[in-house]
A and B are shown apart, each in its own frame.
Chain A
Amino acid sequence: MPRLLVNCTHGREDPEKATLPFVVGNVAASADQETVVLLTVEGVWNATRGYADKVCKEGFQPLREVMQSFIANGGQIWACGACAKPRGISETDMVPGAKIVSAASVVEWLAAGASSLSF
Chain B
Amino acid sequence: MDLPMAQALLEMKTGAEASGSTCALLTPAIKARLKELESGQVLEVRVDDATAREDIAAWCRLSGNELLAMVDEGHQGLRFFVRRK
Question: Would you list which residues of chain B between 18 and 54 have a CB under 8 Å from chain A?
Answer: 18, 20-21, 23-25, 27-28, 30-31
State how many residues of chain A have any CB contact under 8 Å with chain B: 15
Give, as a whole number of angstroms, the nearest-CB distance from A71 to chain B. Answer: 12
Most chain A CB inside 10 Å of its own CB: which residue of B20, B21, B58: B20
Give, as a whole number of angstroms, the nearest-CB distance from A55 to chain B. Answer: 14
Do B21 and A33 have beta carbons less than 8 Å apart? no
State how many residues of chain B have any CB contact under 8 Å with chain A: 15
* Residue in contact with B23 in the complex, picked from A23, A28, A31, CB distance below 8 Å: A23
Give, as a whole number of angstroms, the nearest-CB distance from B49 to chain A. Answer: 13
Instruction: Confirm or deny: B3 has a beta carbon within 8 angstroms of a beta carbon on chain A.
Output: no
Give, as a whole number of angstroms, the nearest-CB distance from A62 to chain B. Answer: 11
A27 and B59 in contact, given A32-B64, A69-B28, A73-B31 (Cβ under 8 angstroms): yes
* A60 neighbours in B (Cβ, 8 Å): 20-21, 24
Most chain B CB inside 10 Å of its own CB: which residue of A31, A32, A60, A66: A31
Do A31 and B24 have beta carbons less than 8 Å apart? no
Do B20 and A59 have beta carbons less than 8 Å apart? yes
User: Bound state CA distance, A23 and B24, in angstroms?
Assistant: 5
Question: Would you list which residues of chain B between 37 and 85 have a CB under 8 Å from chain A?
Answer: 58-59, 62-64
B residues engaging A (CB < 8 A)? 18, 20-21, 23-25, 27-28, 30-31, 58-59, 62-64
Q: Show 14 residue pairs from A and B whose CB-CB distance is below 8 angstroms, ordered by the A residue.
A: A27-B23, A27-B28, A29-B28, A30-B28, A30-B30, A30-B31, A31-B27, A31-B31, A31-B58, A32-B64, A59-B20, A60-B24, A61-B21, A61-B25
3 shortest A-B CB distances, which residue pairs?
A: A31-B62, A30-B28, A30-B31
